Amino acid sequence: MMFSFQPIKQSNATEEVLGQLKEAILRGTIKEGEKLPSERELSSFFNVSRGVVREAIRGLKATGFVEIKQGPLGGAFVKEISLGLLETGFTDLFFANKLSIAEILDVRQYIEPEIARLAALNVNDQYRKKLEIALAQEYQPFESPDDLLNKLTAVHFILAEMCGNRLFEGMISAIISLNHRIIKSLLEELLKGHGIGEHDEIVKAVIAGDAEAARKAMARHASNFKRVFLELEESEGWLWNPKF
């Protein structure tokens, strides 16, 4: 493999190495599934210590660009670049207190009605079936908090897939996944305001291809969810734990 990395001269060496490696991955110079050069090789390329290289690779792992495999053939391998990076970013920003619950729910409240509207315009028999199955699953017994959360949000993920906008899909998937982490510890309280049947009206409108009715139904649902979530936050005085 041929690389055109530049020796590092600036004081913030780790960030410089991280930036050049990330650019090589994004440009396809180092492709998905490929192994990064060894620490020794990268140290030579960049003219920095192996400790600097090691920290840069840790940064790539933390942001979802590489995975570390152990063993004789192990190393840092480039992961598939996907919209899952949004989830990592949203989660890190939230737990670093750079995003509030209210800000996250504001975004969800604005984009999900549009997602529902677009989904109704793109509905077909295959998606109708998927929505009907997901809705029916909401009424089935759940085995764990995770199982219940998956059942109650399946409709949202299907609508996001249907909408035809990958950024909308990535954003709402990231927001819902973050919501999962936040609410698991207080699931029983939250379900008082978000239970079975919340999606019936939305799915009915989407399946019928009624874009405006789907938009309005989702807007009501998102507004109600935001209200319940924020009321619970205020009453409980939540202190978030990243291990949720």
- DSSP of 182-226, one letter per residue? HHGGGHHHHTTTS-TTTTHHHHHHHHTT-HHHHHHHHHHHHHHHH
* Three-state DSSP class for residue 99: coil
pLDDT at 3 exceeding the cut of 70: no
pLDDT at 92 exceeding the cut of 90: no
Is the pLDDT higher at 201 or at 99? 201
pTM metric for this prediction: 0.70
pLDDT at 243 exceeding the cut of 70: no
Its sign, for the CA torsion 92, 240, 225, 177, is positive
Its sign, for the CA torsion 96, 64, 171, 196, is negative
**Dist. CA 222–CA 233, nearest whole Å:** 16
Per-residue pLDDT, averaged over 116-136, amounts to: 96
pLDDT at 102 exceeding the cut of 60: yes
pLDDT at 30 exceeding the cut of 60: yes
Q: What letter represents residue 235's amino acid?
A: S
pLDDT for 177: 87
Structure tokens at 222: 């998102």
Of 156, 130, 141, the C-alpha closest to 222 is 156
pLDDT for 191: 61
pLDDT band at 126; cut points 50, 70, 90: very high
Is the pLDDT higher at 148 or at 239? 148
Its sign, for the CA torsion 75, 76, 78, 80, is positive
Going from the C-alpha of 25 to that of each of 15, 93, 125, 187, 222, the distances in angstroms are 15, 23, 39, 39, 37
pLDDT at 199 exceeding the cut of 80: yes
pLDDT digits (tens, 9 = 90+) for 35-79: 999 999 999 999 999 999 999 999 999 888 899 999 888 899 998
pLDDT for 84: 75
Q: Of 74-88, 170-184, 229-243, which gets the smallest average pLDDT?
A: 229-243
pLDDT for 193: 55
pLDDT at 182 exceeding the cut of 80: no
Q: Of 1-10, 14-23, 44-53, which gets the smallest average pLDDT?
A: 1-10
pLDDT band at 240; cut points 50, 70, 90: very low
**Dist. CA 244–CA 240, nearest whole Å:** 8
Is the pLDDT higher at 8 or at 223? 223
pLDDT for 189: 60
Residues 144-167 as b/e (b if ≥16 CB within 10 A, e otherwise) read eeeebbebbbbbbbbbbbbbeeee
